[in-house]
């Protein structure tokens, strides 16, 4: 890791006095006894366990279902910091949707040579089955989770774009509810923007992109792979909070290119499907024939314009990490302006010179699969063993097009409660952006993931990370924060 990390409370180099605006949080941390912080954190974890807030770790025989670690010390963004991030996020997701509409339509960006055509058209995430298909209101990526990192007081970078089936928003909502209940004094000290209307905005977004002519309250459902999926808790949480049906493939059928939901009162026509499974599994007649999770005929109904799928099939091309490396050019091409949120410097290993640089500096770089997720298939050079480095060297030489590399940034730290007390730990940030017929909506908050292991840069829950509440300070007097629907009524 290059340089000493910037701490979001104490600033550069761990100053003796907190940054301006963070004095009250620093005082709260120092004045709250360690045993009381421990008690509150344990109470939060007990509540999460009771509610069933878990995630699954694939490939493990024992204890595959785990409670996601929660940290009681919140992360705070000032109103001005959030204002800048929000503008950059809006610009980015608008560009992502314009890019998707273009590559599945006229392909002007490819004709103009901004991106190599073969990088898109031969990419495993590109879906030729939907080329020429325009979803309602030309929105493809209705829900985006944009992963960001910070390296200084004003230095924010986008680490990757999640445009397929981004997860984690339920943790954002549950973390806030836990903080309101266990640390109410925080919300007396600060005027905090609420996040509890996210599910209302999500439902509005889904309804807004229903097929034309389907009335004021189109029928929306959430399609889950089932309770064995790692994010099933979130699926049930969101369906419950929105008041829509949580369905599996067996609950749906397609008749004459129309999707119907089976209910005890008969069939109900479905207009919008918020699907939480990848393209490969949504329809065995079009994609993977062995899929038991999808609905036969679903793609025919989609292509006929009779149902909206969110996110649209084919959005994975926008979060491929090789495509990500072109996002500054993509934003400039579609918006006419430079990207307000910069990328992390990225080396495309498919190209000879960046590949050679990567091979020569493996012990200093982070290397990722272009279609990887969850912290898997990744090398963190500075902390990797010689054996791991050599395995990645062989993989890079064999299939260089499958990888990108990035420098190991000095990610910011936030005070975090660990076994030894409160100590700095590295964090990232995933805000959630909703795109519908009425434009982009972003709840003032997001999911902060924290690397609980000292010195670790890997924040994924599957790799030992945890989560924090992310407080966006309001530019107005303090108002009482609301609770989230699921904590009032219980979770599925």
> What is 307-326 written as a DSSP string?
-EEESPTTGGGGT-HHHHTT
Q: When comparing pLDDT for 183 and 384, which is higher?
A: 183
Question: CB–CB of 150/358 below 8 Å?
Answer: no
Q: What is the mean pLDDT of residues 54-58?
A: 56
Q: When comparing pLDDT for 158 and 381, which is higher?
A: 158
Q: Highest-confidence range of 42-46, 99-103, 231-235, 379-383, by mean pLDDT? A: 99-103
Residue 487: band (very low, low, confident or very high) from pLDDT cuts 50, 70, 90: very low
pTM score = 0.91
Residue 376: band (very low, low, confident or very high) from pLDDT cuts 50, 70, 90: low
Q: What is residue 380's predicted lDDT score, i.e. its pLDDT?
A: 87
Q: What is residue 478's predicted lDDT score, i.e. its pLDDT?
A: 55
Distance CA 431, CA 158 (A): 11
> What is 231-245 written as a DSSP string?
THHHHHHHHHHHT-E
Query: What is the share, in percent, of the chain residues with pLDDT greater than 90?
Result: 75
Region of poorest pLDDT, from 65-69, 201-205, 387-391: 65-69
Over residues 105-121, the pLDDT tens digits come to 999 999 999 999 999 99
Distance CA 467, CA 465 (A): 7
Q: What is residue 453's predicted lDDT score, i.e. its pLDDT?
A: 85
Q: Write down the domain spans for the chain.
A: 23-344+409-489, 345-408
Does the pLDDT of residue 61 top 70, yes or no? no
Over residues 387-436, the pLDDT tens digits come to 999 999 999 999 999 999 999 888 999 999 998 899 999 999 999 999 99
Question: CB–CB of 471/76 below 8 Å?
Answer: yes
Q: When comparing pLDDT for 459 and 120, which is higher?
A: 120
Query: What is the share, in percent, of the chain residues with pLDDT greater than 70?
Result: 91
Question: Which residues, at least 6 apart from 106, have a Cβ–Cβ distance to it below 8 Å?
Answer: none
Does the pLDDT of residue 126 top 50, yes or no? yes
Q: What is residue 190's predicted lDDT score, i.e. its pLDDT?
A: 94
H/E element, 255? strand 252-255
Q: What is residue 486's predicted lDDT score, i.e. its pLDDT?
A: 42
Question: CB–CB of 235/195 below 8 Å?
Answer: no
Q: Is 8 helix (H, G, I), strand (E, B) or coil?
A: coil
Over residues 71-98, the pLDDT tens digits come to 999 999 999 999 999 999 999 999 999 9
Q: What is residue 22's predicted lDDT score, i.e. its pLDDT?
A: 92
Q: What is residue 492's predicted lDDT score, i.e. its pLDDT?
A: 31
Kindly report the average pLDDT of the chain as a whole number: 90
Distance CA 352, CA 396 (A): 11
> What is 375-442 written as a DSSP string?
T-SEEEGGG--HHHHHHHHHHHHH-GGGEEEEE-----EEEEEETTEEEEEEEEEE-EEEEETTEEEE
Show the 3-state SS of 11-64: ECCCCCCCCCCCHHHHHHHHHCCHHHHHHHHHHHHHHHHHHCCEEECCCCCCCC
Judging by beta carbons within 10 Å of its beta carbon (0-12, 13-18, 19+), is residue 375 exposed, middle or buried?
middle
**CATH code given to domain 345-408:** 3.30.1490.270
């Amino acid at each position: 890791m290059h340089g000493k990390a910037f701490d979001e409370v104490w600033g550069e180099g761990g100053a003796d006095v907190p940054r301006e605006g963070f004095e009250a949080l620093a005082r709260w941390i120092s004045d709250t006894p360690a045993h009381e912080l421990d008690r509150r954190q344990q109470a939060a974890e007990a509540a999460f366990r009771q509610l069933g807030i878990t995630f699954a770790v694939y490939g493990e025989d024992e204890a595959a279902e785990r409670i996601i670690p929660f940290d009681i010390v919140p992360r705070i963004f000032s109103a001005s910091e959030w204002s800048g991030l929000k503008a950059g996020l809006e610009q980015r997701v608008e560009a992502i949707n314009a890019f998707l509409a273009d590559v599945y339509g006229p392909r002007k960006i490819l004709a103009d040579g901004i991106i190599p055509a073969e990088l898109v058209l031969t990419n495993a995430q590109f879906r030729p089955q939907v080329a020429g298909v325009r979803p309602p209101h030309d929105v493809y990526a209705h829900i985006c989770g944009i992963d960001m990192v910070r390296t200084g007081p004003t230095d924010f970078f986008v680490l990757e774009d999640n445009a397929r089936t981004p997860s984690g928003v339920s943790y954002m909502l549950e973390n806030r509810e836990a903080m309101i209940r266990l640390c109410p004094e925080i919300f007396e000290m600060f005027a905090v923007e609420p996040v509890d209307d996210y599910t209302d905005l999500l439902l509005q977004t889904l309804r807004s992109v229903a097929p034309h002519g389907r009335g004021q309250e189109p029928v929306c459902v959430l399609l889950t792979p089932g309770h064995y999926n790692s994010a099933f808790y979130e699926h049930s949480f969101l369906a419950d909070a929105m008041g829509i049906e949580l369905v599996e493939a067996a609950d749906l059928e397609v008749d004459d290119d129309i999707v119907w939901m089976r209910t005890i009162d008969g069939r109900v026509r479905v207009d919008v499907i918020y699907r939480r499974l990848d393209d490969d599994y949504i329809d065995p007649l079009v994609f993977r024939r062995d899929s038991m999770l999808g609905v036969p005929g679903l793609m025919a109904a989609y292509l006929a314009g009779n149902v909206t799928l969110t996110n649209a099939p084919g959005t994975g091309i926008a979060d491929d990490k090789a495509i990500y490396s072109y996002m500054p050019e993509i934003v400039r091409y579609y918006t006419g302006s430079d990207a307000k949120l910069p990328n992390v410097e990225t080396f495309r290993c498919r190209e000879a010179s960046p590949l050679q640089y990567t091979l020569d500096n493996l012990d200093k770089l982070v290397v990722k699969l272009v279609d990887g997720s969850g912290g898997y298939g990744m090398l963190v050079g500075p902390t990797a063993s010689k054996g791991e480095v050599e395995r990645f060297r062989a993989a890079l030489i064999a299939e260089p097009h499958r990888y990108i590399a990035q420098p190991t940034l000095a990610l910011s730290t936030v005070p975090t409660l660990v076994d030894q007390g409160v100590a700095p730990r590295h964090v990232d940030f995933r805000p959630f952006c909703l795109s519908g017929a009425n434009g982009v909506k972003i709840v003032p908050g997001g999911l902060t993931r924290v690397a609980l292991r000292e010195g670790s840069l890997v924040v994924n829950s599957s790799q030992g990370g945890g989560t924090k509440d992310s407080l966006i300070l309001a530019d107005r007097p303090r108002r009482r924060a609301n609770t989230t629907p699921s904590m009032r009524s219980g979770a599925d």
